[in-house]
Amino acid sequence: MSNPQELRYSKEHEWLSGAADGVSTVGITEHAANALGDVVYVQLPEVGAAVTAGETCGELESTKSVSDLYSPVTGEITEVNQDVVDDPALVNTAPFEGGWLFKVRVADEPEDLLSADEYTEFSGSDSGS
């Protein structure tokens, strides 16, 4: 699998787009989606909610497990992807595209976000998930 170069990545396997007008798009990586298996339920934060980098802001359920969703940055939710709420399989089929999860107006971002190459190496050596 290939992780898009233009995105940055958290160690909790979220991706973050470059900010347009201060707003970034967030999703989970293909590596994370593959590890979860078929996603069947997505709970996202509310529009207007404040999220904090590294803290949980929702959950993803797959056939076998429930996983917390972490925000890779601190900020305010401006939009959530209703399509993925209605059809959670988008997380598996298009994790970097139609399976995006929410948009956030970034107030602060941690310094340890990874580049695509760094994340590829990180997830490749990450035996647990």
Instruction: Return residues touching another protein (CB under 8 A).
Output: 34, 37-38, 40-41, 61, 63-64, 66, 89, 92
Between 101 and 114, name the residue whose CB sits nearer to another protein: 101
CA distance 129 to 64: 13
Between 59 and 121, name the residue whose CB sits nearer to another protein: 59
Q: How far is the CB of 89 from another protein (least distance, A)?
A: 8
Judged by DSSP in three states, 99 sits in coil
Q: How far is the CB of 98 from another protein (least distance, A)?
A: 16
Contact 69, 101 (CB under 8 A): yes
Residue among 1, 6, 11 nearest 114 (CA): 11
